[in-house]
Amino acid sequence: MVGYTIIGAGLAGLSLALELRKLGIDFEVIEHRDYAGGIHNIVPEVRDVINELLREVDVRFTTTAMRIDGTVYAVWRGGYRRLIDNVVVATGFRVMTMPELGIYGDRPAGIYPHHAVLDMLYYGLLPGKNIIIYGDNTYAIYLAEELMKRGVTVKIVSPIKLGAGTLRRAAEVIVGRVRYVKGLGRVEKVLVDNEWVVADTLVISMFKPFNRFPEFRAVGQAVIETYDPGIIIESGRIMARELASKSRDFIVIDSDLPIYPGNRVSRDVRRVIIPCKGCKVIVNDKEYVINGDAAVIDLPDVERVSIRRVVS
């Protein structure tokens, strides 16, 4: 098959797929889970967008990309094939690890990464009855709401203050860091800063971009640290146009910041994403202020572009 294999039917993968379709490029979308949407499955507004995309794009569910030694395969019920070229990774964020987060203590049952709980909800299961969600982002809030709808007690622990507008239901928010977990069989209590909070479950909703197959290009939260659905969709569009571009002209970017989709972009597309929360950047001689966690920037039609962060 000539065309692209997109790993992951979340917002990024589906956006990329739709854009490729518009550009007349062949592709397939494979999805490990038996549902689409990934982390946005429980985010109502984005779920609507995903449902729209699913009307346009076919997805092969229960089809998983996995690495065996050095080789990447797509595996489905009854078959597999090697993934060699023309692959785009759209597998989204990974969940941060306990050592990364500095959470010490016991390792009883009842500590779950965010995504495990998404699957539980999908299968009609609950991770516990008295839950602490540790997260500094909107996904933590949506998960709290979804769990509370099912009659579960939820507290959100966030290292930073969460925007008041984003909390529509009354989930209790504790500002602080989870430091220690106690429990022999099951989680019994969790130390937040210097205070013990009784809970039977700890859900980790702190994320990092992670491309599990770095030999391939990636879109969305697999490479960009953003919580803005608009940025994720845009990354899919940029990647589609990059893949479609037949031009041999490139813009070389000299930057001290990570630039999506990379430091060499097609001159046809001339569009990049700069993930840098609240930063001020200078693109050649133009100054931009990034309001959210990332910004889409159209580059000037020149051979070389310099992007610098202004540290004030």
Partner 1 sequence: MLVVYYDIAIIGSGVVGLFIAYELAHYRVRVIVIDREAEPGFGVSKGHAGVIHVVQPPFNSLRSKLAIEGNKLYDGIAKRLHVRVRRLSTLLVARNPIHLIALPAVWFILNRVYGKHGFRVRVLGPRELRKREPNVKGLGAIEVNNYGVINSFELISQLYNFCTLNGIDFAFNTEVVKVKVLDDGVAILTNRGEYRARYVINAAGLYSADVARMFGDEYRLEFGKGVMLVFWGEQTRNIVAPLQLAPNPKTKGGAIIPTVFGTTIWGPSLSMSDRGDRSVNEADIEILNEKFGGLLRRRDFIPIRAYAGVRPIPEGDDFIITYSKLSKHIIHLVGIESPGLTAAPAIARRVIEMLRDAGAVLTPKDEVREVDPVVMTKSIIEEGGTINADQGEVVCPCMGVTRADIREAIRRGARTLDGIIFRTGLGMGICQGMCLGKAIKVISEELGIDPEKLTKSGGNSWLVTR
Q: Which residues bind partner 1 (CB under 8 A)?
A: 32-33, 62, 64-69, 71, 73, 75-80, 94-95, 97-100, 102, 104-110, 112-129, 182, 184-186, 204, 210, 212
- Distance in Å, CB of 77 to partner 1, minimum: 4
Residue 34, helix vs strand vs coil: coil
Judged by CB, which is closer to partner 1: 54, or 66? 66
Judged by CB, which is closer to partner 1: 51, or 97? 97
Side chain identity at residue 277, one-letter code: K
Judged by CB, which is closer to partner 1: 113, or 176? 113
Side chain identity at residue 237, one-letter code: R
Judged by CB, which is closer to partner 1: 186, or 304? 186
Q: Other CB atoms closer than 10 Å to residue 276's CB: what's the count? A: 18
- Distance in Å, CB of 207 to partner 1, minimum: 11
Q: What is the DSSP string of 13-59?
A: HHHHHHHHHHTT--EEEE-SSSSS-GGGGG-HHHHHHHHHHHHH--E
Region label for 37, one of left (φ > 0), alpha (ψ between -120 and 50) or beta (otherwise): left
Judged by CB, which is closer to partner 1: 61, or 288? 61
- Distance in Å, CB of 12 to partner 1, minimum: 17
Judged by CB, which is closer to partner 1: 105, or 258? 105
Identify the H or E element spanning 86: none
Please give the distance of CA 239 from its chain centroid, rounded to a whole number.
16
Q: Taking a C-beta distance cutoff of 8 angstroms, is the pair 269, 241 a contact?
A: yes
- Distance in Å, CB of 270 to partner 1, minimum: 32
HSE (side-chain half, CA atoms, 13 Å) at 114:
30
Phi first, then psi, for residue 232 (nearest 5°) are -60, -45
Judged by CB, which is closer to partner 1: 119, or 293? 119
Angstrom distance (rounded) from CA 34 to CA 106? 33
Judged by CB, which is closer to partner 1: 2, or 125? 125
- Distance in Å, CB of 312 to partner 1, minimum: 29
- Distance in Å, CB of 228 to partner 1, minimum: 22
Judged by CB, which is closer to partner 1: 119, or 268? 119
Q: Taking a C-beta distance cutoff of 8 angstroms, is the pair 57, 17 a contact?
A: yes
Provide the 8-state DSSP code for 39. Answer: G
Q: Taking a C-beta distance cutoff of 8 angstroms, is the pair 133, 144 a contact?
A: yes
Angstrom distance (rounded) from CA 246 to CA 40? 33
- Distance in Å, CB of 102 to partner 1, minimum: 7
The CA radius of gyration of the chain, in Å to the nearest whole number, is 21
- Distance in Å, CB of 167 to partner 1, minimum: 25
Identify the H or E element spanning 81: strand 79-82
> In the beta sheet, which residues pair with residue 63?
76
Q: Other CB atoms closer than 10 Å to residue 127's CB: what's the count? A: 22
- Distance in Å, CB of 62 to partner 1, minimum: 6
